[in-house]
Amino acid sequence: MARGLIAGRAAFESDYRDLLMVLAPAHDCAQRLGLDPVVFFDELAEQVAEAVPDYEVSTNSGRQPIAAVIRPFARRSDITPKAFNFEVVESPDGPEYRSGSPGAPRTWEELQTRLGIKPD
């Protein structure tokens, strides 16, 4: 996930809300897997901040380090598919996350492709 946030830096720097739309399904997924989203996102924030120390995003309060956006997001209780315009579809391989926005990547793999990230 850290690689995706780093690769998508240009898209996320200009508007933090785009970042939140990517983080929301990961938050939901962490909960479904029984992970603590706060621990998961705190570790993610640290990884991204260590890899790219000058990574900042534009927020309503001005430019903020990306970690200052990721950490509080993990603590929110209003993150639902409806609130963040995504859906969870059960597939034979388990849940799939899809954006509800027209033209948006429909799967994580499609997002990775658009960002130029090579799968492991």
| 107 neighbors 91 (Cβ within 8 angstroms) | no
The pLDDT value given to residue 45: 96
Phi, psi at residue 89, to the nearest 5°?
Answer: -115, 125
Q: In this predicted structure, what is the pLDDT of residue 42?
A: 97
Number of Cβ within 10 Å of residue 39's Cβ equals: 11
| Res 77: pLDDT | 93
Q: Are 91 and 101 in contact (CB under 8 A)?
A: no
Q: Are 20 and 57 spatial neighbours (Cβ–Cβ below 8 Å)?
A: no
Residues 40-79 have pLDDT tens digits of 999 999 999 999 999 999 999 999 999 999 999 999 999 9
Domain boundaries, the chain: 2-83
- Give pLDDT tens digits for 91-119: 898 888 888 776 666 666 777 776 676 66
What pLDDT does 100 receive?
A: 77
Which pLDDT does position 7 carry in this prediction?
87
